[in-house]
Structure 1
Amino acid sequence: MTEQARVVSAERIIAAQPEVIFELIADPSQQPRWDGNDNLAEAAPGQRVHKTGDVFVMRITKDQLRENHVVEFDEGRRIAWLPSPVGETPPGHLWRWELEPRGDGSTIVRHTYDWTALTDEKRMVRARATTADSLRASIDRLAALAETAA
């Protein structure tokens, strides 16, 4: 498989300021509200991400805990994390959100799933099943929340 096929991305314009949208992404307790993969069950409040190196914990729908290691962070503009089972080294797949403000009060939102460094064979089927449509579902749900809040 080519490296290009291991990076999936989707984007759209959301009629809200980047700060409103980013708050929904950077606060893990909000993520199950907009997860288009229906994979996230809950996250304890008080884990709002503030910098690279932060780690937040989610309970996924399989009733397992997952750590998310923040590897990119620019407040209001960019956040990315590497998920892993609790206490384990991340297996190499990355979730990234990028927000680009537009002059009219709206924001271009890009969501990317990058599994170029994924080494865990057990995760390959799920990685291949993550499509631009599934990423778009998360963006669409995020838009519904952000546009209502705006």
Structure 2
Amino acid sequence: MAEQMVSVTREIKASPEVIFDLLADPARHADFDGSGMLQQVRGDSGRLELDSKFGMDMKMGPLPYRISSKVVEFDEGTLIAWAHRGKHRWRYELESIDGGAATKVTETFDWSTAVIPKAIELAGYPKKHPVAMEATLERLAALVEK
């Protein structure tokens, strides 16, 4: 349901493999998070694949909390998405362009699978998240572009 998804796309001058390696490493997620909420990975989760579980230390304003996520969509080099208890998803889709010299990266916040989608809407996340998603893709580009 497209009406329960918001996406941001950016061209990044790096190969899909390089970008995907960062996305598949939860220890690096705080490095490119544009929301400022991710603090660090909890435990040693290793490289992500379908059904992998990983935990993150988070912070919303002054309030710290923890969250556990599971990889729910996965196609090596092109697609990775994870969801946590609320079942809404964070998805990254990568498309090679310029013969692999660059990648079209689309980040999507998808609450069509959420346990209580109306709560997400009432909290205003669909309108707030695109700004953080743009910052995330900007930070991701800064990490991988030569």
Q: Specify the TM-score bucket, using the shorter chain as the normaliser.
A: 0.7 to 0.9
2:114 maps to a residue whose letter is L
Whole-angstrom CA distance in 2 between matches of 1:76 and 1:111 = 14
- Residues 1:105 and 2:101 aligned together: yes
Whole-angstrom CA distance in 2 between matches of 1:50 and 1:142 = 17
CA contact (8 A) 1:49 1:56 kept: no
Distance 1:105 1:19, change over 3 A: same
CA contact (8 A) 1:8 1:132 kept: yes
Whole-angstrom CA distance in 2 between matches of 1:45 and 1:91 = 21
Instruction: Give the 3-state SS of the residue equivalent to 1:63 in structure 2.
Output: strand
* CA drift at 1:119: 3.0
* CA drift at 1:94: 0.4
Q: Over residues 23-67 of structure 1, what are the superposed CA-to-partner deviations in whole Å (9 max), with x where a residue is unaligned? A: 111111111111111110111464233421110110111321111
| 126-135 vs 59-68, which moves further | 126-135
Whole-angstrom CA distance in 1 between matches of 2:38 and 2:81 = 16
- Residues 1:117 and 2:113 aligned together: yes
Distance 1:49 1:72, change over 3 A: farther
Instruction: Give the 3-state SS of the residue equivalent to 1:70 in structure 2.
Output: strand
| TM-score (structure 2 length as normaliser) | 0.85
Q: Number of residue pairs matched?
A: 140
* Structure 2 segments unaligned to the other structure (5+ residues): none
* CA drift at 1:8: 0.2
* CA drift at 1:129: 3.7
Q: Which one has the bigger strand percentage? A: 2
| TM-score (structure 1 length as normaliser) | 0.83
Instruction: Name 2:57's counterpart in structure 1.
Output: 59
| 39-48 vs 123-132, which moves further | 123-132
* Structure 1 segments unaligned to the other structure (5+ residues): 84-89
CA contact (8 A) 2:26 2:48 kept: no
CA contact (8 A) 1:97 1:112 kept: yes
- Residues 1:92 and 2:87 aligned together: yes
* CA drift at 1:126: 4.8
* CA drift at 1:68: 0.8
